Amino acid sequence: MAAPTTVAVLGSTGSIGTQTLEVVAAAPERFRVVALAAGRSVDALVDQARAVGPELVAVPDPDRAAEVRERLGPGVEVVTGPDALAEAAVSADVVVNAVVGFAGLPVTLAALGAGRRLALANKESLIAAGPVVAAVRDTPGAELVPVDSEHCAIHQCLRANTVPERVGRLVLTASGGPFRGRTRAELGSITVAEALAHPTWSMGPKITVDSSTLVNKGLEVIEAHELFGVDYDDIEVVVHPQSIVHSMVTFSDGSTVAQLSRPDMRMCIGYALAWPDRLDVAFGALDWGEARTLEFAPPDRETFACLDLAYAAGRAGGTAPAWFSAANEVAVAAFLDGELGWLGIEETLRAALDAWPGWPADSLEAVLEADRRARECARALVERIPAPAGGPA
């Protein structure tokens, strides 16, 4: 029997990270976790390390790393500092990048640059630094397999075709989030609790808020463009509230291939871990003996205008996607802290995108500077927008 595939789980205490450990536990003969990394949740990280026995644990913050090192004892190497995540990213055959936000970029670059398979759940790194990431994707041995349910679905649908020129359209499905069907007038007093009540998926706060504004879907459009090389005019978004069809590809002959399953991220994670094989554990399997209805509708682009703002950032190119993504991180954090209303997220993003200076994304330094400046811009904009009454209820 072949030796188990080694796995590094970065962002291990978040939703994707914990579900990755569930997948590994369901197939222990196939996978072995050799590295974990987390930023803040020391208790959860220590519990995970005691359960799976990694060789290396990465904690960027030195104070938290010291606590982890003391609690785990001498049997586990604990690394810290600004390069800790990158160090963990080259320690395994497969690297699961579940780090939240732009902080995941060093993981993406390190894993691909070292010729590893990258199971990418951190969309921001590819969105913000697509041209920079594209260069390291050519590293011998490097593979990028998306974990996002929509891009995982497209990755699977494209296996039905061997001629890239025959791809007509990518169709990304969206649940519509918790506010599907509401008018703009009804969204002026949205609370944090309402925005975090996603009807289908269990995700972290930032991604859940992004889903409520459709920013998440807009970022996925940019990511699909970078992953699959398809023009923005040929990437479509449709609302599908049942979240059974996870995305589709229409080919030049009019045929559409779709990927269907119950909404279970463990299926997508297992697909990336096992690629080009599949697991024999059926996460997300549908019972076709049940009656079900599948609905599709165009998104309400007037109410959820952030979707078109993301398209505009993608089409602008250069560092515009990095600028947009960074401004969104600031706006969402302000919303979660009660400093900004839900509609204020769109207001912030629109003004921030208008302020983008038109810089190219011709180096990592250019992307980092765009990210920094966009955050400054977004923070200044948030301060000018009146805070909602009552705080983050």
- For residue 115, the one-letter residue type is G
Residue 145: strand pairing partners: 119
**CB within 8 Å of 187: residues ≥ 6 apart:** 179, 303, 342, 343
The answer to whether the beta carbons of residues 122 and 99 sit under 8 Å apart is: yes
CA neighbor of 128 nearest in space, from 267, 317, 306: 317
207 vs 221: CA distance, rounded Å:
15
CB-CB neighbours of 103 under 10 Å = 17
Instruction: Please choose, from the candidates 54, 40, 41, 48, the residue with its C-alpha nearest in 3D space to the C-alpha of residue 19.
Output: 48
Paired tokens of 133? 């990431």
Output the tens digit of pLDDT for each of the chain's 393 residues: 678 999 999 999 999 999 999 999 999 999 999 999 998 899 999 999 999 999 999 999 999 999 999 999 998 999 999 999 999 999 999 999 999 878 899 999 999 999 999 999 998 889 989 999 999 999 999 999 999 999 999 999 999 998 989 999 999 999 888 888 888 888 888 888 888 886 666 667 888 899 899 999 999 999 999 999 999 999 999 999 999 999 999 999 999 999 999 999 999 999 999 999 999 999 999 999 998 999 999 999 999 999 999 999 999 999 999 999 999 999 999 999 999 999 999 999 999 999 999 999 989 899 999 999 999 999 999 999 887 765 555
Q: Quote the CA–CA distance of 114 and 141 in Å, as a whole number.
A: 8
- Reported as type and span, the H/E element at residue 82 is none
Asked if 246 contacts 264 with a C-beta cutoff of 8 angstroms, the reply is no
Q: Rounded to a whole number, what is the largest CA-CA distance in the chain? A: 63
